[in-house]
Structure 1
Amino acid sequence: MKQFDAVARVPGDPILGLMETFRADPNPAKLDLGVGVYRDAFGLTPVLAAVKQAEQRLVDQESTKAYVGGHGDADFGKQVTRLVLGDDAALLQRAGMTQTPGGTGALRLAGDFIATCLPGRRIWLSDPTWPIHETLFAAAGLSVAHYPYVGADNRLDVPAMLATLNEVPIGDVVLLHACCHNPTGFDLAPEDWRQVLDIVRSRELLPLFDLAYQGFGDGLEQDAYAVRLFTEALPEVLVTSSCSKNFGLYRERTGGLLVIASNPDALAAVRSQLASLARNLWSTPPNHGAAVVATILADEHLRACWQEELEGMRQRIVTLRHGLVKALEPYGLSEGFAHIAEQRGMFSYTGLTAEQVRRLRAEDAVYLLETGRANVAGLDAERLDALARSIARVVR
């Protein structure tokens, strides 16, 4: 009996599938704006100098490869918690981080915690959101609902978002992108965040922040604004943090789930549940990436080096955004695509239709998702004019 014959084949992930198609394309001028990784002026995803130095230090000084425990590297947790929340001593006393395999692992751990310990809560996601949010929380057994975020005119629709959040049942969970919204690039302004906070507080919702791009939007401190606003005002908040983008540690799968509870006793109870859940997911997390991050953040020289490199990446993305809008001027399209310069982070909801995206791929080997989402960090400054010319052709 061959038992695998009955196993159905499922469609591949659209982003990973796009990567495979791109790699197989023989066109030497092909351009990958699909996969969400940062690329430098040479088209490479570099290993940061601060990371290289920290790794060498670990090679020279690391004395064991023993397990790091259910909550992971304690130094990593301490350092990243301060990176996210700042140095507010009172807040830190009721905050604790559980290290996870990347931000995705943190999201799955949060989903399992909600399903296990807060049964019956629905989780509300922005429309649109990162596609894995949808499948990940469903796999954790949660009921998924949506609040509006971007309207049909490809603009942030704050009134619609607030109106829907005002109708969310008491006690439900709402996932919020702390900065650099994926996939749209549209972020809430401080006054918008304060309105969301008022609703979350009045309806006793549990906010779950996805903080995957700290430092890629307006800067390290600025990008933590919403998280700090909510954690200072509310007794309970969940935050998933990723080091993939801001430390360039994509393949090291380095992240954490940060819990802010009303008091240390409540925090201890939640953390006991997280350790139990993690035991059945990955037992203990991988340590190399976490040790690198902890080493960098604890060392004044390495931290300064890292922050300089991170700011350089952020500024490059900002320059590319403005450069593309400028390149569209000769075609009379700069106003129609002005939102690209207004968005934040790696991604842009360009406003291109699925048919226009397919034409870009077929005619010019320009690869982006059929939703129109483009990875701005994959652009090449020297090819902005060519890209603008291609866009002009498909939109007319």
Structure 2
Amino acid sequence: MPTLSVFTDVPLARKLEGSLLKTYKQDDCPNKMFLAYRACMTKDGSPWVSDVVHKTRLQIAEDPSLDYEYLPTMGMKSFIQASLELLFGKHSHAIMENRVGGVHTVGDSGAFQLGVQFLRTWCRDADVVYIVSSQQEPHGLIFRDMGFTVHEHCIWDPKKLCMDPNILFNVLEQIPSGCVLVVGNIADCKLTQSQWIMFLSTLKSKQIFPFFDVPCQGLHSGDLEEDTKILRYFVSSGFEFFCSQSLSRSFGIYDEGVGVLVVVALHNQHLLCVLSQLMTFAQALWLSPPSTGARIITSILCNPALLGEWKQSLKEIVENIMLTKEKVKEKLRLLGTPGSWDHITQHNGTHGYLGLNSRQVEYLIRKKHIYIPKNGRINFTCVNHNNIDYITQAISEAVFFTRSRENSLPKEKNP
């Protein structure tokens, strides 16, 4: 008699984001291109790694004093301290008052996994979370798995071709008191000073708990302080919050999965209690975080010469991205591509929206073998002097083709 499998009723999960990459790899076209890599890419099409990382990695490998013992559950203290100073500034009053701390986490999502576990256990009334971001975030999956009701809102308006602050304020109007608000990559939220004051005031009046995400500090504007100045404003305004600080992309060590769950409290005693609970969750989740990436980052952040070199590399990358965006916009203009393309250069960061609709994206994939997500959000570091002409020509063709198809369709007569 055959044994009945315990996996008989397990269905296939829905396709993940990687399915686009899989389709790309199966394409035999020699001119195919993939513009949706998460990593920052170099001109020769390989993942960018800061030069200081290579040097530091070699120094660490040759250090005879390292014993590769398990790290404490909280992680490497020097790494946490250096990360907090990077986020809030070395002379932050909150750091000096010992009301800011963190736990060394695993992977890009480890901080969210840890933070959501804490909220589920100790903030039971906060069972609803609103997520606002410029793109679809994976954080919602973690909240759902922990039993939260999740509402997701994209602040990118595909009709206006901009990050629309009105979307954010519409969410604030409808969000019930006592909820959790996740802000994905806060550097994308372009608000005026008066709008930020209004934003903070609403959070306080509704007792909403903020959970921020800083996925690539320094790669947005090229200025480490500029990318996190709003977080410092929250700290100075007396807010308590969690923040996922991922450092892998900023240094180019994508496979290391290095991050920190940052905790900001009103008092040191509160912070110590929260950190003690987080450590019990971390012990159950991973017991001890990996050390190599943390050692590399700490060595760089604590060495003035290496720190300066790393900052310069971030600045150069961002300047190259801005130049690439300018070139893309200008080439589309010279090709006479219908529509306005100013939105390409109006927003910072490695990734940005082209402003294409689903038919135009499909045209690029099927006809030109250029693979981009359905929402048209590409990694601009994938665009270089070797492929920019082909890409812009293809975009122009896609826009012209879909518009001619739409114009050729018979128009409905008014009754």
Q: TM-score, normalising length from structure 1?
A: 0.93
1:37 match: 39
Which deviates more from structure 2 when the two are superposed, residues 360-369 or residues 102-111? 102-111
Which deviates more from structure 2 when the two are superposed, residues 249-258 or residues 275-284? 275-284
What is the DSSP-based 3-state SS (H/G/I as helix, E as strand, rest coil) of the residue aligned with 2:386?
Answer: helix
Q: Aligned runs of 1:176-325 on 2, under 5 Å?
A: 176-181=183-188, 187-218=190-221, 219-325=223-329
Which 5+ residue runs of structure 2 have no aligned equivalent? Answer: 401-415
Counterpart amino acid of 1:66?
A: E
Distance 2:248 2:358 in 1: 29
Name the CA shift for 1:96/1:115 in 2 (closer, same or farther; >3 Å).
same
2:23 match: 21
Which 5+ residue runs of structure 1 have no aligned equivalent? Answer: none
Q: Does 1:90 align with 2:93?
A: yes
Distance 1:164 1:47 in 2: 38
What is the DSSP-based 3-state SS (H/G/I as helix, E as strand, rest coil) of the residue aligned with 1:252?
Answer: coil
Which deviates more from structure 2 when the two are superposed, residues 99-108 or residues 195-204? 195-204
Counterpart amino acid of 1:20?
A: K
Q: Does 1:51 align with 2:56?
A: no
Preserved CA contact (<8 Å) 2:39 2:48:
no
What is the DSSP-based 3-state SS (H/G/I as helix, E as strand, rest coil) of the residue aligned with 1:146?
Answer: strand
Preserved CA contact (<8 Å) 2:43 2:382:
no
CA RMSD of aligned residues (A): 1.9
Counterpart amino acid of 2:67?
A: T
Residues 5-43 of structure 1 show CA distances to partners (whole Å, capped at 9, x for unaligned) of 3321112312x1112222222222222111211111111
1:6 match: 9
Distance 1:386 1:235 in 2: 49
Distance 2:9 2:204 in 1: 49
The alpha-carbon deviation at position 87 of structure 1 amounts to 2.2
The alpha-carbon deviation at position 96 of structure 1 amounts to 0.5
Instruction: Determine which of 63, 68, 78 is the counterpart of 1:75.
Output: 78
The alpha-carbon deviation at position 131 of structure 1 amounts to 3.3
Instruction: Determine which of 163, 167, 172 is the counterpart of 2:179.
Output: 172
Q: Does 1:125 align with 2:127?
A: no
Distance 1:263 1:225 in 2: 22
Q: Aligned runs of 1:312-351 on 2, under 5 Å?
A: 312-333=316-337, 336-351=340-355
Instruction: Determine which of 142, 161, 167 is the counterpart of 1:160.
Output: 167
Distance 2:315 2:344 in 1: 19
2:412 match: none
Counterpart amino acid of 2:346?
A: E
Residues 45-86 of structure 1 show CA distances to partners (whole Å, capped at 9, x for unaligned) of 133211111112211224211111111111110000000011
Q: Does 1:105 align with 2:110?
A: yes
Name the CA shift for 1:334/1:327 in 2 (closer, same or farther; >3 Å).
farther
Which deviates more from structure 2 when the two are superposed, residues 144-153 or residues 69-78? 144-153
Distance 1:45 1:280 in 2: 33
Distance 2:21 2:375 in 1: 16
2:406 match: none
Counterpart amino acid of 1:53?
A: K
Which deviates more from structure 2 when the two are superposed, residues 245-254 or residues 48-57? 48-57
Which deviates more from structure 2 when the two are superposed, residues 75-84 or residues 277-286? 277-286
Instruction: Work out the number of aligned pairs and report it.
Output: 391
Distance 2:79 2:70 in 1: 14
Preserved CA contact (<8 Å) 2:105 2:111:
yes
Name the CA shift for 1:335/1:87 in 2 (closer, same or farther; >3 Å).
farther
Preserved CA contact (<8 Å) 1:71 1:99:
yes
Counterpart amino acid of 1:203?
A: K
Name the CA shift for 1:389/1:366 in 2 (closer, same or farther; >3 Å).
same
The alpha-carbon deviation at position 275 of structure 1 amounts to 0.6
Distance 1:35 1:137 in 2: 25
The alpha-carbon deviation at position 304 of structure 1 amounts to 1.2
The alpha-carbon deviation at position 156 of structure 1 amounts to 2.2
The alpha-carbon deviation at position 118 of structure 1 amounts to 0.8
Distance 1:151 1:307 in 2: 32
